[in-house]
Amino acid sequence: MAKIIPFKAVRPTRDKVSLLAARSYDSYTPEQVESRLRDNPFSFLHIVNPGYKYKKEISGEERYSLVRNRYQEFKEDEIFTQDEKPSFYIYKIVNRDGLEFNGIVAAASAQDYENDVIKKHEDTLEYKEVIFENYLKTVGFNAEPVLLTYPDNDELATIIETVMHDRAEYEFTTTYRDTHYLWKVDDETTINTIQSIYEGMETLYIADGHHRSASSCLLAKHLKAENENHTGKEAYNYFMSYLIPESDLKIYEFNRLVKGLNGLSKEEFLIQLDTVFRIENRNQEYYKPLRKHHFSMYLDGEFYSLSLRKNSYTISNALDGLDAQILYKTILKPILGIEDLRNDTRIEYSHGKNDLAYVQTMVDKGDFTVGFGLLAVTTQEMKQIADEGLKMPPKSTYIEPKLRSGVTIYEF
């Protein structure tokens, strides 16, 4: 049984939401950050980058405290207001590619995360969990929902569709040409119906936001231990989430770019590949893999197709069958000597929205030696790996939708 509850969101006023909403901070270039901070006094980036006010780079606990201060100033200036009643929020995104995402912003249970009702498919780094937990504890709010997914449900779809017949609280288009809509649901009957539907679901899956959810749950555990009067109803027992049906998820691949061939010549590298893969030189033909266990490779101005030799690799679980894992176990680690996929500076990742033309360009420029193109992971693969308690390699999936920070804020 999944426990999902409504909450009193802190939200920007209707006239300022388009100015305030921001992408994740690390998705901007330094020039873009500077432009937005200079030209838009309402941008959420002013909250998460409080040192701009003093023209100084600030980090650690000092930064966290100033983030809290900026947030309080936005509330004092009534740029933000808090809803009076606990609500669910229907959120719709139509992106510039014409894809539509419909879901519900709500608070998900940290206990469900601990009990594996909310399942994970990616590893997290402990130091990142601790850093973000300290951040959350100091600032006292979460401004970016964790993306959760659930099996398609006709009853929920009908409720969402019915709510969307009314005028949206928000309707704004970003400079990325994505259009966002939000509706508030505070009717108790509808809230109870939505909660009962989720209670009938055995499992929810994290699609995006593994570190955010892990940090929120770590915070809940520590605040519970510190609170002698803990009841389980405190806000810290939950974390803000955006729940969408599985059919709405859009999963892109992450391609790999590698510097150097680990001391091998081009010919020696290809000979080692030949023991595990059937290799076909495509010359200048742009090649993108079309089925599982096939890879694209760009090396020395030419594309190659690599297809896994059936007798050269054993698949014993869902993770073994994942293309990103196959690439790691057959090429990246044994041939190119890359063991630590998270920290080795020889490897970088490019999500599939950049496509293989980006990989080709980066290799041709000399920034990298070889690039590998993968097929996107399916939702079923992601779920199966989570169900088996396994974890994907880093950067296995690039998942949409991507929500804006600051549209709904969860305080604890």
Domains of the chain: 4-250+400-411 (no CATH), 254-375 (3.30.1760)
Q: Do the beta carbons of residue 199 and residue 1 sit within 8 Å?
A: yes
Report the C-alpha gap between 338 and 194 in whole angstroms. 47
Name residue 320's amino acid. Answer: D
Nearest-10 crossing angle of helices 60-76, 126-139:
40
Q: Is residue 394 over pLDDT 90?
A: no
Predicted confidence (pLDDT) per residue in 98-144, tens digit:
999 999 999 999 999 999 999 999 878 788 899 999 999 999 999 99
Across 143-178, b (16+ Cβ under 10 Å) vs e yields bbbbbbbbeebeebeebbeebeeeebebebebeeeb
Structure tokens at 75: 């509330």
The predicted structure's pLDDT at residue 236: 97
Confidence of residue 25 (pLDDT cuts 50, 70, 90): confident
The per-residue pLDDT of the chain, averaged, comes to 95
CB burial readout 349-358, b (16+ within 10 A) else e: bbbbebbbeb
Burial class (CB in 10 A: 0-12, 13-18, 19+), 40: middle
Chain center to CA of 189: 32
Lowest mean pLDDT among 117-126, 355-364, 371-380: 117-126
- Nearest CA-CA partner of 304 in 266, 253, 334, 338: 266
DSSP 7: B
Helix spans in 228-320 (H): 266-274
Residues with Cβ within 8 Å of residue 15, at least 6 apart in sequence: none
* Residue 363 CA: distances (Å) to CA of 279, 297, 327, 358: 19, 11, 18, 9
For the cut 90, the answer to whether the pLDDT of residue 173 exceeds it is yes
Report the alpha-carbon distance of residue 361 to residue 380 in Å, rounded: 32
Phi, psi of 175 (to 5 degrees): -65, -15
Give 343's pLDDT tier (boundaries 50, 70, 90).
Answer: confident
> Which of the four pLDDT bands, split at 50, 70 and 90, describes residue 176?
confident
pLDDT score of 406 more than 80: yes
Please determine, for residue 74, whether its predicted confidence score (pLDDT) is greater than 80: yes
Q: Tell me, what's the pLDDT at 54?
A: 86
Looking at residues 382-411, what average pLDDT do you find? Answer: 93
Cα(59)–Cα(54) distance, rounded to whole angstroms?
13
For residue 97, the model assigns a pLDDT of 87
State the pLDDT at residue 133.
96
pLDDT surpassing 80 at residue 12: yes
292 vs 352: CA distance, rounded Å = 16
The helix-helix angle for 126-139 and 210-226 (nearest 10°) equals 60
For 177-234, give the DSSP string.
S-EEEEEEE--HHHHHHHHHHHHT-S-EEEEE-HHHHHHHHHHHHHHHHH-TT--S-S
- Average pLDDT of 364-391? 96
Strand partners, 92: 102, 181
pLDDT band for position 282 (cuts 50, 70, 90): very high
Is a pLDDT exceeding 80 seen at residue 38?
Answer: yes
Judged by DSSP in three states, 406 sits in coil
Give SS3 for 168: coil
Q: What's residue 55's pLDDT?
A: 86
Give me the residue label for tokens 């020889």.
Answer: 346
Find, among 153, 155, 140, 150, the residue nearest to 82 by Cα.
140
The pTM for the full model equals: 0.90
The phi, psi pair for 26, rounded to 5°, reads: -75, 0
Structure tokens at 288: 């993108």
Per-residue pLDDT at 395 exceeds 90: no
217 burial (CB, 10 Å; 0-12 / 13-18 / 19+) is buried
3-state helix, strand, coil in the chain (%, to 5): 35, 25, 35
The 3-class SS string of 71-106 reads: HHHHHHCCCEEECCCCEEEEEEEECCCCCEEEEEEE
Q: Are 388 and 318 spatial neighbours (Cβ–Cβ below 8 Å)? A: yes
Residue 270 belongs to what H/E stretch?
helix 266-274
The pLDDT assigned to 57 comes to 85
| Residue 322 contacts residue 377 (beta carbons within 8 Å) | yes
Report cis status (omega within 30 of 0) of the bond before 334. no
Q: What does the pLDDT look like over 227-243, one tens digit per residue?
A: 999 999 999 999 999 99
pLDDT in tens, 314-337: 999 999 999 999 999 999 999 999
What SS3 state is found at 408? Answer: coil
